[in-house]
Amino acid sequence: MTRDPSRPVVGRRRFVQGVGAAGAASALQPWNALAGSSPSVLSGTEFQLELAPLTVNVTGRTRSATAINGQIPGPTLRFREGDTVTLAVTNRLSFTSSIHWHGLRIPSAMDGVPGFSFDGIAPGQTFVYRYSLKQSGTYWYHAHGPEEQTGVYGSLVIEPKGGFAQRFDRDYVVVLSDWSDESPLTIISNLKFQSDYYNHNRRTLGTFIQDAKRDGLGATVEDRLMWGDMRMSPTDILDVSGATYTYLMNGQSPAANWTALFRPGERVRLRFIDAGSMSIFDVRIPGLPMTVVQTDGNDIVPVTVDEFRIAPGETYDVIVEPREAQAYTIFAQVQDRTGYARGTLAPRPSMAAAVPPLDPRPLRTMADMGMEHGAGGHAGHGGPAPSGTSSSPSSDPHAGHAMHGMDHGSMAGPQDTAPRLAGRVGVDNVATAPRSRLSEAGDGLDGNGRRVLLLSDLRNAKRGNDPRPATREIVLHLTGNMERFMWSLDGIKFSDAAPIMLKLGERVRFTLINDTMMDHPMHLHGVWSELENSQGDYRPYKHTILVKPAEKLSFLVSADEPGRWAFHCHLLYHMELGMMREVRIS
Amino acid sequence: MKKLTAALCAAAMLTGFASEARAQQPPTPDQPQPHGMPHMLDNAVFAHLLFDQLEGRFGFNEGNSFRWEAEGWVGTDVNRLWLLSEGTLSSGELDDGIQQLFYGRAITTYFDALVGTRWDLDSLPTRGWGAIGLQGLAPQFFKVSAIGYVSGEGHLAARLEASYDLLITQRLILQPQVELNFYTKDDPARRVGAGLSELDAGLRLRYEITRQFAPYIGITYLGQYGATARYVSAAGESTQQVRFTVGLRTWF
């Protein structure tokens, strides 16, 4: 598809690319969030953080943001495994807020979700978090509400007690995020009125003619009728796009070009964190293969790739070895190809390499609807789920062993949810043939000619520490109604749902079936999610798992930390609008 | 004219709520919990007001007129209060001034049930109706509504509407639209006859400068039939009007 000529280009470039740091800083009075380099680093065991309004200028217009210690992202916190840290967080915003420590295995009272673990931090108040660090790796911290979009996020690195598993010479945090000049409530409200408000790549008469030329008129008409019958659009990739977002790397717009320095021959560790509210990024460094060594804070068996996909909430650590004294572009395009975050690896400041063009935009297919190949239409009316729902939940060869220990009686209940979901107000599709997609790179990546990281590639560096099989399976459907912009689990929104109860110490399998046409990064607080991805006892330990459309996957949980924990889609507006559950461990 | 002002004022009141969400108190869990529940926006109240038609209609033979058709709602995903307002102003007279207030409830994936009242408020005698109907998105992306009415005098009426957005480009959109009105009994005072009384159709080409601001040009057709046509003719007006139309589609 070609760019729509009717679309104004003037002004949009500045919008998408952002304002260059130097120009903006000199031309405009407000403190420029983009003018700095890397976020400042705080280390030790005592920390003071302050949440406060901050006037920023990302696109050429001044806006009020919410910052941590006057920075977006907030300072990088460097902890040491085994330490007990104290963090006094003061709220200078006009509303109750908090900090959630994303991925940290800490007592629930310290988790920082207002309503679950505490009441939140009222304006003017200080809450003192105190916890011991029983883990190491790359993590992050953020507010657990709409103010996350406007800047309340930062990175967090815990140095391992026994030294790093990998040798490296330089260590950079790379925080990817999305900035909008519109307020979070305006974005949600716009989507409630028109769910494709931010989609400027819808099908048109022009794409119809193109497709008819390529595929024939009959096939194209049939295709349009099939999607029309379902009242869905294959162009729904991300709900909020570059139409309003400027994508940031360490708080800097593409024009500002965040830069990390290296000497040729050095090993450079890049700790990627997707702190975006609604943006899934595809990251690559043209000319440099990346060796992925860690995900979600846990070391994995290194795997070398050209590109990886990272979703909100996830972290991926890579090591690169640039040998030439040249600049390399760190290119992070969003999944719907409406923009990118960009930075540079260079031997000297102020160098830049070519920025690659955006890849072609992906289109959803019937496979993303969870239909058998060639099946058409009527997904909205659902049908009783066939054997797909009740078959063995994962491709993990060891899952079979686990199944022996499972209570099959308790498994019968949740499997019946699929037929009950069809036709609900909040459910526009039920995947009739969900399947494992762990060995697919995902929409927009498969078949792009590059070596892309797969979830099935992830192999934990050490054997899992809980060899017990799961005694129970909890099946949850990820559900939504795109037209009404409603999001839920099992067709029930968070505020209308009962908590998921886990017994302290029990080992359970969560099976997720994505009935929607979008990817959802599902984040479980408090305990690890061990993804069952055919790596046997070396399952990767994740805190956020990206579930593809029509995908069925499972992860194991050891319920070893009591408390009330959140389990939710980490796309901020999906969470806010109901794609969340309480998981109560007692 | 006063009634037009009143209708616009009511519409303006709704815009006051526009674009702002307010979190509702979530339901209290069965058992007391140490900290209650997180306040999410999943049952929040939103409000919007759409002027689908805000247009001048310029006749080739007849006089010119100004028409508006607006819909506003305030509520959650499932429960909403709807205000629908329309009217046509020509030669200082307000016609077709239909104001409706509904409670709407989402009952299926794509359809809302509506129940409420309709008031015919314009230069002709006022009528009040009870109303019940459905509106939503039909397969192939047709926006449709069907509403039935019953008046205190035992008259029945029905109105069917449909429209479709054909994207020529991302911003240039052609919208065919049709509205049909039916009545079971004659109401000469309102120049309404039994049967299909009126068909209002339009073909509007809008350009979305932004999503919320889209000027358009178009051709509109207003036809009266049967007894209605006789009443309208008797009043010295044309029963078949094809007009050039210029307007603005805007929402808040």
The closest of B107, B167, B183 to A426, measured between CA atoms, is B107
Q: Given an 8 Å threshold on Cβ–Cβ distance, is B109 in contact with A190?
A: no
Is residue A228 within 8 Å of residue B140, measured between CB atoms? yes
Looking at the complex, report in whole angstroms how far the Cα of residue A496 sits from the nearest Cα belonging to chain B.
7
What pLDDT digit, counting tens, does each position of A104-146 carry? 999 999 999 999 988 999 999 999 999 999 999 999 999 999 9
Q: Given an 8 Å threshold on Cβ–Cβ distance, is A423 in contact with B137?
A: no
Query: What b/e string do you get for A216-227 counting C-beta neighbours within 10 Å, with b at 16 or more?
Result: eeeebeebbebb
Q: Given an 8 Å threshold on Cβ–Cβ distance, is B169 in contact with A205?
A: yes
Compute the radius of gyration of chain A from its Cα atoms: 23
Question: What average pLDDT does chain A have?
Answer: 88
- Where chain B has pLDDT below 50, the residues are 1-33
**What pLDDT score was predicted for residue A162?**
92
Q: Given an 8 Å threshold on Cβ–Cβ distance, is A4 in contact with B171?
A: yes
C-alpha torsion sign, points A426, A429, A434, A440: negative
- Considering only alpha carbons, which residue of chain A is nearest residue B108? A425
What pLDDT digit, counting tens, does each position of A26-44 carry? 333 333 444 446 789 999 9
What pLDDT digit, counting tens, does each position of A485-500 carry? 999 999 999 999 999 9
**What pLDDT score was predicted for residue A419?**
65
The closest of A148, A199, A57 to A573, measured between CA atoms, is A148
What ipTM, to 2 d.p.?
Answer: 0.86
Pairing of strands A84-91, A46-57: parallel
Is residue A244 within 8 Å of residue A177, measured between CB atoms? no
Q: Given an 8 Å threshold on Cβ–Cβ distance, is A6 in contact with B37?
A: no
Mutate to test the interface with A, among B28, B40, B108 (most CBs of A within 10 A): B40
What pLDDT digit, counting tens, does each position of A547-579 carry? 999 999 999 999 999 999 999 999 999 999 999
d(CA B206, CA B216): 4
Residue for token pair 């990281």: A453
- Considering only alpha carbons, which residue of chain B is nearest residue A115? B38
**Nearest Cβ partner for A118 among B20, B35, B48:** B35
pLDDT at A11 over 70: no
Q: Given an 8 Å threshold on Cβ–Cβ distance, is A564 in contact with B33?
A: yes
The 3-state DSSP class for residue B99 equals: strand
Q: Which residues of A touch B28 (CB under 8 A)?
A: none
Give residue A464's identity as a one-letter amino acid code: G
Q: Which H/E stretch holds residue A430?
A: none
Q: Which residues of A touch B21 (CB under 8 A)?
A: 185, 188-189
**Nearest Cβ partner for B140 among A144, A190, A229:** A229
Q: Given an 8 Å threshold on Cβ–Cβ distance, is A426 in contact with B107?
A: no
B68 and chain A: CB distance < 8 Å anywhere?
Answer: no
- Considering only alpha carbons, which residue of chain B is nearest residue A421? B109
Mutate to test the interface with A, among B22, B42, B251 (most CBs of A within 10 A): B42
Paired tokens of B221: 């057709």
**Nearest Cβ partner for A576 among B41, B168, B251:** B41
B205 and chain A: CB distance < 8 Å anywhere?
Answer: no
d(CA A313, CA A296): 9
**Which pLDDT band, with edges at 50, 70 and 90, does A421 fall under?**
confident
Query: 3-state DSSP helix/strand/coil percent for chain A, to nearest 5?
Result: 15, 35, 50
B165 and chain A: CB distance < 8 Å anywhere?
Answer: no
Return the minimum-mean-pLDDT range out of A151-165, A366-380, A426-440, A453-467: A366-380
Looking at the complex, report in whole angstroms how far the Cα of residue A365 sits from the nearest Cα belonging to chain B.
17
- Considering only alpha carbons, which residue of chain B is nearest residue A197? B211
Looking at the complex, report in whole angstroms how far the Cα of residue B210 sits from the nearest Cα belonging to chain A.
10
Is residue A532 within 8 Å of residue A399, measured between CB atoms? yes
- Considering only alpha carbons, which residue of chain A is nearest residue B45? A189
Q: Which residues of B touch A201 (CB under 8 A)?
A: 170
Q: What residues have CB less than 8 Å from B29, skipping those under 6 apart?
A: B36, B37
Angle A217-230/A205-215 helices, nearest 10 degrees?
130
pLDDT at A355 over 60: yes
Q: Given an 8 Å threshold on Cβ–Cβ distance, is B37 in contact with A4?
A: no
For residues A581-586, give the mean pLDDT: 96
Our measurement of the distance from residue B43's CA atom to the centroid of its chain's CA atoms, rounded to an integer in Å, reads 25
Q: Which residues of A touch B48 (CB under 8 A)?
A: 189, 192-193
Looking at the complex, report in whole angstroms how far the Cα of residue A577 sits from the nearest Cα belonging to chain B.
4
Q: Given an 8 Å threshold on Cβ–Cβ distance, is A231 in contact with B40?
A: no
Torsion of CA B59, B64, B65, B66, to 10 degrees: 100
Looking at the complex, report in whole angstroms how far the Cα of residue B20 sits from the nearest Cα belonging to chain A.
7
C-alpha torsion sign, points A476, A481, A486, A491: negative
pLDDT at A444 over 70: yes
Paired tokens of A212: 């008819």
**Nearest Cβ partner for B137 among A193, A483, A495:** A483
Q: Which residues of B touch A185 (CB under 8 A)?
A: 19-21
Our measurement of the distance from residue A280's CA atom to the centroid of its chain's CA atoms, rounded to an integer in Å, reads 6
**What pLDDT score was predicted for residue A103?**
98
d(CA A142, CA A139): 10
**What pLDDT score was predicted for residue A17?**
77
Q: Given an 8 Å threshold on Cβ–Cβ distance, is A193 in contact with B251?
A: yes
Q: Given an 8 Å threshold on Cβ–Cβ distance, is A495 in contact with B140?
A: no
B31 and chain A: CB distance < 8 Å anywhere?
Answer: no
Helices (H), chain B: 2-15, 226-234
Q: Given an 8 Å threshold on Cβ–Cβ distance, is B170 in contact with A481?
A: no
Is residue A356 within 8 Å of residue A329, measured between CB atoms? yes
- Considering only alpha carbons, which residue of chain B is nearest residue A381? B109
